[in-house]
């Protein structure tokens, strides 16, 4: 059910929510958090709501979407409430702010927050340089950005590494979970040798590739070379150098990875790119500070640059052009 409330107020939105709850039997007691979505443009608004609805099946929540209308218009709030099948296991409130109110997202959100429930703020598009100091970020225990959605992803990631605060996270980091798991499990197999160096190859503007290299530099404490390539999208390969030979995890097509290491059979691994729905579900599982992400950001300063090797024509033809959020 979708209910439009043009030229409304937050009090009227709250009143309508209570009315719907009494009439339909829906309650807010089962909501475990409030998810605030700061949507800078309409292009990503519906996609972000779909991701939040999917995540709500594991994390029932109240979703408040703050969208900006024309700044030159008269000040007003156009509201929309989505419940039932149009809101997954959550209730979605969309607030479109016009005129001077476009810069007052925090004031519009506060009256609609669930009492005594954690708050997560997510910027699915362009986010603030310092999420913890942003008005909507100040409300939240967890702040989620997406460097891959920025015009200059690497610059955005570098800027946020300097302003990191406990509770900050980035979907470019969440997209690495499967890569990190495979590399850690490979090191758990014999021969148990020290890693002497590492090389991470990926698209020049892939923030996930940067974070993967930073993570290796922070925890292995060895030289890590970040190689930029234009032959495929996202992360292409990781090589961990050891005395007996290298552990190599390669994914030239963005879907299937190949893991090779001395003394072990070659394995093919599903490493398809993760979408925002999957990543958001994972992010909402923890609201405490992510120390490993913080360490990966610190490792960015330790990287050295390398030159990409040429890949085969077959590998190039298999590579498809995905969305910028690909890892």
pLDDT tens string 22-74 = 876 555 557 889 999 999 778 789 999 999 999 998 999 999 999 998 888 99
Expressed in angstroms, the distance from the first to the final Cα of the chain is 35
CB 241 within 8 A of CB 196: yes
Q: Name the pTM for this structure.
A: 0.90
Residues across the chain:
327
Say what the pLDDT of residue 311 is. Answer: 40
At a CB cut-off of 8 Å and minimum separation 6, what does 286 contact? none
CB 162 within 8 A of CB 132: no
Count of CB atoms within 10 A of residue 270's CB?
Answer: 9
- For residue 191, cis peptide bond before it (omega within 30 degrees of 0): yes
What is the rounded CA–CA span in Å between residue 102 and residue 200? Answer: 42
Tell me how far apart the 2 most distant CA atoms of the chain are, in Å.
70
Say what the pLDDT of residue 230 is. Answer: 87
Mean pLDDT by 10-residue block, N- to C-terminus, for the chain (327 residues)? 94 92 65 92 88 92 94 94 77 95 94 94 96 97 97 96 97 97 93 95 97 97 95 93 96 94 93 95 94 97 73 40 51
Say what the pLDDT of residue 180 is. Answer: 97
What is the rounded CA–CA span in Å between residue 277 and residue 270? Answer: 18
Q: Is 257 left (phi over 0), alpha (psi -120 to 50) or beta?
A: beta
Q: Is 94 left (phi over 0), alpha (psi -120 to 50) or beta?
A: beta
Say what the pLDDT of residue 308 is. Answer: 58
**What secondary structure does DSSP assign to 159-186, as a single string?**
HHHHS--TTEEEHHHHTTHHHHHHHHHH
What is the rounded CA–CA span in Å between residue 172 and residue 149? Answer: 9
What is the rounded CA–CA span in Å between residue 167 and residue 142? Answer: 4
Domain boundaries, the chain: 2-171, 177-318
Say what the pLDDT of residue 231 is. Answer: 83
What is the rounded CA–CA span in Å between residue 29 and residue 210? Answer: 41
What angle do helix axes 207-220 and 177-187 make, rounded to 10 degrees? 30
Cβ burial 102-116 (10 Å sphere, 16+ → b, else e): beebbebbeebebee
CATH class assigned to 2-171: alpha beta
Say what the pLDDT of residue 216 is. Answer: 98
């Amino acid at each position: 059910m979708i209910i439009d409330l043009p030229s409304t107020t937050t009090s009227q939105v709250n009143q309508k929510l209570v009315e719907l709850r009494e009439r339909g039997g829906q309650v807010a007691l089962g909501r475990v958090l409030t998810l605030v979505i700061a949507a800078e443009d309409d292009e990503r608004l519906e996609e972000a709501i779909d991701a939040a609805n999917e995540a709500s099946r594991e994390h029932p929540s109240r979703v408040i979407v703050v969208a900006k209308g024309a700044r030159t218009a008269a000040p007003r709030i156009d509201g929309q409430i989505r419940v039932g099948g149009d809101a997954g296991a959550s209730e979605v409130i969309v607030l479109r702010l016009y005129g001077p109110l476009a810069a007052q997202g925090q004031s519009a959100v506060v009256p609609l927050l669930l009492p005594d429930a954690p708050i997560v703020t997510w910027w699915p598009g362009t986010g603030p340089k310092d999420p913890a100091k942003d008005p909507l970020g100040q409300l939240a225990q967890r702040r989620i950005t997406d460097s891959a959605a920025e015009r200059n992803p690497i610059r955005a990631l570098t800027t946020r590494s300097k302003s990191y605060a406990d509770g900050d996270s980035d979907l470019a980091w969440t997209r690495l979970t499967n890569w990190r798991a495979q590399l850690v499990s490979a090191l758990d197999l014999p021969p148990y040798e020290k890693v002497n160096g590492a090389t991470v190859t990926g698209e020049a503007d892939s923030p996930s590739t940067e974070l993967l290299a930073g993570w290796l530099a922070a925890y292995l404490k060895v030289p890590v070379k970040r190689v930029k390539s234009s032959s495929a999208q996202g992360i292409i390969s990781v090589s961990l150098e050891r005395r007996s030979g290298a552990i190599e995890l390669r994914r030239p097509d963005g879907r299937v990875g190949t893991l090779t290491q001395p003394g072990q059979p070659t394995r093919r691994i599903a490493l398809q790119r993760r979408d925002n729905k999957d990543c958001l579900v994972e992010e909402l599982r923890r609201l405490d500070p992510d120390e490993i992400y913080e360490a990966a950001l610190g490792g960015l300063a330790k990287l050295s640059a390398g030159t990409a090797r040429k890949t085969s024509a077959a590998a190039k033809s298999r590579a498809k052009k995905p969305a910028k959020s690909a890892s």
